[in-house]
Amino acid sequence: MSASAPHVTEPHPVPPLVEELIPCPDPWDVARRLAHLPRLLFLDSADRHPERGRYSYVMADPVEWHGGGGQRFGVGTVFDNLSRSFDNFRRAPHPDLPPFQGGLGFVLGYELNRQTEERVPAPRNDEFGLDPVGGLSAAGLYDWVVSFDHKQQRAWLVVHGRPELDRSPKRRIAIEKLNEIRAALRRGRQPLKHVPTRSPLQATLVPQHPLPGFPGVTSNFSRAGYLAAVRRAIEYVHAGDCFQVNLSQRLLAPLAEHPLELYGRLRATNPAPFACYFDAGDFQVVSASPERFLKLTDGGVVTQPIKGTRPRGTTPEADAANIRELTTNLKDRAENVMIVDLLRNDLGRVCEYGSVVVPKVCAVETYRYVHHLVSEVRGRLRDHLGPFDLLRAAFPGGSVTGAPKVRAMEIIAELEPTARGPYCGSVGFVGFDGAMDTNILIRTFTAGRGYVQFPVGGGIVADSDPEREYEETLHKAAGLLKSLKLATDEYG
């Protein structure tokens, strides 16, 4: 939290009701038991890294909603709207609980880049029906949350009651909500309802191309079209427009089940420290993100880009060999350092002069199934700024655009046939105290109208091979398609 950021103190502060859940329940089981409630948001550290995967959160039924579900954002940018909503209800955190104790939970779609950089053109085709202000973004003000600390193996139900009300009705509503959530947790899992009936997407207005090796899956690129786009991106790199462009193809597949069931399989096959499920009404975000975007605590800013990934080996010797290959790969290291420089510049726009430092460059972090090459950039937010100023300065994350960022986003808008939506955007929270944590939405499905859309891509640089880049997207697709049970022997 930026302690002196401009804000309006909550008009009638009342301490939240806090109840520890004993024994500590499983976060996935809690999410399933509460799935009947609207606008479920599950921030899920499914791969429990000791630092980046320590906490998980389940919340639903927000008292205020922006975007999605036919409720569009108000006047100004999405960042303006969220800042106004958040600034009305600031309060100090409980010192003994996980960092998020209620506040704003949100998804920010990639196309918000047009609100942060005016030069970026609109996508060539809008298959989502984007809100002209919000893109495919949504946010809720959540007055209760189930918070998990995996290190302590403890969980708490924290209930504020509607933050805008006077003390007496607020306390009454908090007690009612506490009893409601208790009862839902005791009842057990309810059947998931409202499986959507398939209906034509706007995506069908864009030519669909069968994806080789994946029956029933289509792409917004033909193979030849993607190869041509990669070659054009390489031409831009050689011409000096940019050093790297992150290019993707958007895949489309039918979904005949509730998106939360898909998420359950995804978290089992691709556990990740920044995984999430978000029911935004018109659409659902299903993600196995491994990457933190921005974290803000007491004015301290942290971003942790990932560039470079290798699988775990089946033996200790193979595992060590994969780590050596990762740490000595010049392309991975060069891309990682390039993104670090980009993020230093982004943070420098809003952080105190001289505070931006890089304590970690190209360090190996090991998870259950993969090794990542992770760097870290830190800074101190200027006293008069808050979390949404930070988001505005750095969105979207540089690791999913290329560098320089603005020119890379212009090239992406030129070469990719359709809007990205949530992909390469962010899901996260801003607590009532101003603390923030967000992810980068990669390895992500967007569900709606009986389909899922999931772009896959990679960073294009001067020596990229178009055929190899295309094959890499198919291998990335196979990992996600295992969750849909659509992977083939060739790629999965």
Which helix (H) or strand (E) segment holds residue 139: the answer is strand 138-142
Which helix (H) or strand (E) segment holds residue 412: the answer is helix 405-415
Cα–Cα separations (whole angstroms), residue 210 to 218, 224, 340, 453: 4, 12, 37, 14
Contact 378, 301 (CB under 8 A): yes
- Count how many Cα atoms sit within 13 Å of the Cα of residue 279 in the half-sphere of its side chain: 24
Contact 423, 455 (CB under 8 A): yes
Three-state DSSP at 60 gives: coil
Q: By CB neighbour count within 10 A (0-12 exposed, 13-18 middle, 19+ buried), where does 23 fall?
A: exposed
CA 109 from centroid of its chain's CA atoms:
9
Q: How far apart are CA 125 and CA 119, in angstroms?
A: 18
Tell me the catalytic residues.
291, 307
Joined tokens for residue 362: 């190209």
Contact 230, 247 (CB under 8 A): yes
Task: Please give the sequence-ordered ranges of beta strands (E in DSSP) within 63-133, or none if there are none.
Answer: 64-66, 103-108
Cα–Cα separations (whole angstroms), residue 251 to 208, 286, 349, 473: 9, 14, 35, 10
**33-61: string of b/e by CB count within 10 Å (b at 16+)?**
bbbbbebbbbbbbbbbbeebbbbbbbbbb
